Structure 1
């Protein structure tokens, strides 16, 4: 263990960062490179995002720059890059002597299982959700981009909602976050879920709420557990 890998080294200006936040600051360039490389690989590899949808009914070979399919490919790349950077950050924070991820292995495994189960389960209902939103006039029936975004990213919102509480509680148990999940942690978590809903949902307030609700509930559960558990 490198003795320099401490919170003091990560946070030399004593800004009160948690070990996770200090690690993100110290390794920001590495995390950005990881995210960008992953995004580029995904954009290049996924030529037809319609093939990834539950129905594959919106499959298309149109890949022109600026077209709806290309925009969804960019969104897939951005999401994959963010997830890759997040996984790298969790691995890097374990270098801090104050952090012990093994103590939180159960919570982290629960978060991974929750994400997988939530995503798979919501994927089964995504096509029906598209039909309902089209019927309500919230999504245009001929909008390929909106259909793809709902079928591909709404399941991720549900899976993220199932994972966020055990993930935050696990990082708290490992010592990577403050014991009471302070306002900074809550604020950044809320910012991330709002950014996700804004970037990956169709431009409609109903779909925005559908994307934001599952992770918001998960965040609320984590905060309540930390405060009263």
Structure 2
């Protein structure tokens, strides 16, 4: 099918698909390929994820330098560096596929992304500003969680996950509301952000928190809270705005 075909052509039985969902279904193979290619490229390119974190992924402890013991060598599958590289690849691939989905949805005559350009720009700016700001506080948060006994002081994987992915959670939280409102304004989502949209959004934020946070309920809540607040703002804006 041509990418410019309408939702009615793709979904003649009117199964309730929004234009965005119809686009995802129609281009599922392409989106999966884009995500996988990006994930593999990022995984191969980033040999030491500690170079991307403020402290090299080692929480400061008494008498220990934040960068002590950091090695650029890549170990086997069980090595924390390997696991964080894999997480980085998956996250980047998913975000790239998501951006591609929005671009493909813009080819549908029922969708007008130009009408939502302001909202989408705010979403991009919110993600960037939120991520950069949270990155400044991530090392301090890691120290606090170590002090509380929520994160092991010698766990490089947990420190890297907090310093690399918690800022993404905050940036995502800042971007969720304008992104959903923009896609709604463009006609890509239902006008009322129906139950399916809310349910999928909640599923995505829970999956993100579960996959990219250290195995602790406190860090899970810290990851899930910003996107959940953003989703709540979007729903409240639609329902009561």
| TM-score > 0.5 by shorter chain | yes
The aligned residue for residue 60 of structure 2 is none
Pairs within 5 Å for 1:141-160: 141-160=153-172
Residues 1:46 and 1:193: Cα distance change in structure 2 (over 3 Å): same
Cα deviation for residue 228 of structure 1 reads: 1.0
Cα deviation for residue 15 of structure 1 reads: 1.4
Cα deviation for residue 62 of structure 1 reads: 3.2
| Runs of 4+ with deviation above 2 angstroms | 9-14, 55-60
Please tell me whether residue 98 in structure 1 is matched to residue 146 in structure 2.
no
Residues 1:49 and 1:3: Cα distance change in structure 2 (over 3 Å): closer
Cα offsets for 1:88-136 (capped at 9, x unmatched):
0000001111100000000000000000000000000000000000000
Aligned mates of 1:87, 1:68 — CA distance in 2: 29
Query: Please, what is the CA RMSD of the aligned residues?
Result: 1.2
Cα deviation for residue 13 of structure 1 reads: 4.1
The aligned residue for residue 71 of structure 1 is 83
Among candidates 80, 94, 109, match of residue 82 of structure 1: 94
Unaligned runs of 5+ in 1: none
Cα deviation for residue 3 of structure 1 reads: 8.9
Aligned mates of 1:177, 1:41 — CA distance in 2: 31
Aligned mates of 2:3, 2:29 — CA distance in 1: 22
Please tell me whether residue 116 in structure 1 is matched to residue 152 in structure 2.
no
Pairs within 5 Å for 1:162-177: 162-177=174-189
Q: The residue matched to 1:179 in structure 2 has which SS? A: coil
Cα offsets for 1:200-225 (capped at 9, x unmatched):
00000000000000000000000000
Q: The residue matched to 2:182 in structure 1 has which SS? A: helix
Unaligned runs of 5+ in 2: 57-65
Aligned mates of 2:96, 2:190 — CA distance in 1: 23
Pairs within 5 Å for 1:1-229: 5-56=5-56, 57-58=66-67, 59-66=70-77, 67-229=79-241
Q: How many residues were matched structurally? A: 228
Residue pair 1:104, 1:173 contacting (<8 A) in 2 also: yes
Residue pair 1:10, 1:25 contacting (<8 A) in 2 also: no
Residues 1:3 and 1:92: Cα distance change in structure 2 (over 3 Å): closer
Aligned mates of 1:222, 1:95 — CA distance in 2: 25
Q: The residue matched to 2:121 in structure 1 has which SS? A: helix
Cα deviation for residue 5 of structure 1 reads: 1.1
Residue pair 2:3, 2:104 contacting (<8 A) in 1 also: no
TM-score normalised to structure 2 length = 0.92
Residues 1:34 and 1:4: Cα distance change in structure 2 (over 3 Å): closer
